Copies of this chain bind each other. A is one copy, B any other.
């Protein structure tokens, strides 16, 4: 048997057929075309699912259950999307709608939580009991898995690790607070710091890299550092310190077995990871413990597929 995983985003609806080895064997998509009624969006999920099944050489009768990852807050018991600013949803009974349309048992979770759960079951967290996923993208997202279950909180809104303040009275955040981790550790923050550097110094290497890239993106300071820019090497070090600050906070509070780092900036690999590991080795509360008793910090493995795979595996979250 197979499952369907649906990744509902502000731009695209992506549906994948996931086999028992947690591989996506067929994928199809539709435009989300916001704003429009939830009913129409769910119709397109069904249409995309049929396409994905066709690509996999399967049909709906081969499907055991359906999982949906959505932006916003999901009521854990009922699978109602209580609120999603991105989708303009308010109290959409997603689980019920999916079960009626697909004729299968359905599970609904927050998209960041689904991606975290996918990494936990099929990627960087395989065989672990606890894992926190950190996603360094436009913002800093995350998902917390404790005792092999997603920790969704009292009302399904837990996991907003990007909105932990690491700098009292610091940079303003969209959430209304000042100094949130995501204002220092997101790709957006890295781009801001690169822009500030560009404006405050004359760095020919940096200028050359930006000209070649055609824009300022998260790759720019790493590339410029590799090509010899000292100022960019320092900037990357500072950025790693900000990422490590939040990672260390998570370790000191929750001591998970694994922390996995994903999102756009994580494509820098060891250039990002190694300085973070150095900060953690120096500063974590349990740094004197034997190495196998410490949280291990890894790069995410599944990339953009994590959300689809995690949604398809939500049934394992009970």
Contact = CB atoms under 8 A, between A and B. Distances in A.
Given A165-B245, A166-B166, A168-B166, A154 B252 contact: no
A175 interface: yes
Interface string A247-286: 0110011111100000000000000000000000011011
Contact of A146 (B151, B155, B176): B151
A144 B147 CA distance: 14
Interface string A277-298: 0000011011011000111000
Interface stretch (A29-37, A156-164, A306-314): A156-164
User: Chain copies in the assembly?
Assistant: 2
Contacts of A170: 168
A130 interface: yes
B83 A160 contact: no
Nearest to A132: B253
Interface string A100-142: 0000000000000000000000000000011000000000000
Contact of A154 (B83, B130, B175, B248): B130
A164 B285 CA distance: 10
